[in-house]
Amino acid sequence: MKQVLIVEDEPIIQRGIERVVGLLGHKTFAAFDGRSAVEIAKINHLDLILMDEKIPFLSGLGALEQIRSSDGPSKNTPVVMLTAFNDKETIKSAISVGSNDFIVKPFDTEELVRKVNKWVNHSVEQSWRKLNAKEEALLRVTLDALTGAFETTKGHGTLPFALVKDSCDRILNVLELGLVDSALTALKAHDDYTFVHSLRVGVYMSVFARGYGEFSRDELAVITMGALLHDVGKVKLPLQVLNKPSVLDKREYQIIKKHVDYTMEILGQYSNSPDQVMEIGRDHHERPDGMGYPNGSHGAQVGQLARMAAVVDAFVAITDRRIYKPAYDFAKAFEIMKLSDGQFDEAVLQHFEALVMDSGLHG
Ligand SMILES: [Fe+2]
C-alpha cells in the first residue's frame, strides 16, 4: 500500500480527493496547511504528495521548498501541485522548487486518477534502473503500452496496437535471454494493479506458450498480445468496483463479469484482430465444465489458448498481492487451483505447474 499526502485547505475537496485515492488502495494523510504538510513529510515515507498551491501558513510552493531542502524521508517524493491557474509563471516557479506535475482546478476524477497512477509508483520505477537494460526496457515499454491501451480506450479511442506489438517483441527478446525472473520480481512493489496483473499474465503466458505447444515466433507474439490485452475492457468498469479493497458482493461480481464484453468491444474495433487475441479475450473466464462466463461454453468449445490463459490468469491473481489478501507463494497457488474441481483443464494446469516449479521463477 502506497502512502499519499493530500494538502488541501478546503475540507470538501480534501475529502473528495481522499475518497478517490483511498479507492485506488492507498493510505492517505491529510494536511490543511503548509506547516503541517512539512511536518508530516518530515516523519513519513510518502510515495506521493498532492499539494494545493493556495494554503495557509506557507503557500504550497513554500511547503514544497521546505520539503525538498529537508533531510526527511519524503525529500524526493513526487509532488503534484493543484493549482487554480494554468499560467506559465505559476508553473515555472513550481518547477523551480521541485514540483513534478500539475492538476489545474477544477479537475475531474479521471484526471486525478491518471495523475495518481502516473506518480505513485515513481520511486519503484526509479529502482528499475538497477535492472539489466533489457529487463528495464521490458517493464517500461510494456507498462507504457498498457497505460496507452487503457487510456486511449476509455472513451472511443482506439488501441495503440503498434505499441502493444512492440511490447510483445520485447517480452520475447527478454525471454530468449532468460532474464524474466528479476523483471517479474521488480514488478512486485508496483501498485497499479490492473496494468501489472496484465503484464504478468502476458509474461507468464509467453513463458508457458514457449514451453508448451509448437508455436512459431509470430504466433507467440500474438498469444502474448492476447494475454496482455485479456482484461483491457476493465477500463470501462467503475473504479469503486474495480479497486474495491475487500471481497466483491454478488452485484459487484456481475459488474466485473461485464469486462469480457467490453474487452471484445474494444478488440472488435479492429477488423484484423488476430483470432488468438479474440479467443483469449472472450474465453479466459470460461471453464471446461461449463460453469464459466460469459457464455458458459464447455468441453471442446473452450479452446486450448483460453484454457492456458485461464490457468495463467488465476495463477497470477493468486500470487498477486492485493489489499485484502497476501501474495500466495507458488506451491500454495497450485494447491488452491487443484482444489477448484472442473475449473481448469487438468493437463494444462499440470504442464504449467511443472514449467513454473522447474523454471526457478520467483514471481
Ligand atoms: Fe478477466
Q: Does one domain contain both 195 and 280?
A: yes
Mind listing the pLDDT tens digit for each residue in 1-26? 789 999 999 999 999 999 989 888 78
Q: What is the CATH number of the domain that holds 107?
A: 3.40.50.2300
- Looking at 95, 120, 145, the residue that finishes a domain is 120
Interval between CA 230 and ligand 1 midpoint (Å) = 6
Mind listing the pLDDT tens digit for each residue in 264-300? 988 887 767 788 989 999 999 999 999 999 999 999 9
Does the bond joining 160 to the residue before it have cis omega, within 30 degrees of 0? no
- The Cα 148–Cα 242 span in angstroms is 19
Domain span at residue 62? 3-120
Domain count, the chain: 2
Q: Does one domain contain both 140 and 116?
A: no
Q: CA-CA distances (angstroms) from residue 1 to 34, 39, 280, 349?
A: 25, 21, 30, 31
What's the distance, Cα to Cα, between the start and end of the chain in Å? 19
Q: Does one domain contain both 12 and 63?
A: yes
- Looking at 78, 95, 120, the residue that finishes a domain is 120
Q: In which residue ranges of the chain is pLDDT below 70?
A: 86-87, 148-163, 174-175, 177-192, 271, 323-324, 359-363
- The cell for 3 is 502512502
Active site positions, annotated: 234
Interval between CA 101 and ligand 1 midpoint (Å) = 33
Phi/psi zone of residue 266: left (φ > 0), alpha (ψ -120 to 50 degrees), beta?
alpha
CA 114 to chain centre: 12
Interval between CA 206 and ligand 1 midpoint (Å) = 17
- The Cα 356–Cα 234 span in angstroms is 27
Interval between CA 150 and ligand 1 midpoint (Å) = 14
- Looking at 99, 120, 141, the residue that finishes a domain is 120
Residues with CB under 5 A from ligand 1 (ion): 231
pLDDT at 160: 65
- The Cα 128–Cα 187 span in angstroms is 9
Q: Does one domain contain both 8 and 145?
A: no
Interval between CA 257 and ligand 1 midpoint (Å) = 8
pLDDT at 363: 44
Residue with cell 508496483: 190
CB atoms within 10 A of CB 148: 17
Q: Does one domain contain both 228 and 259?
A: yes
pLDDT at 25: 78
Q: What is the CATH number of the domain that holds 345?
A: 1.10.3210.10
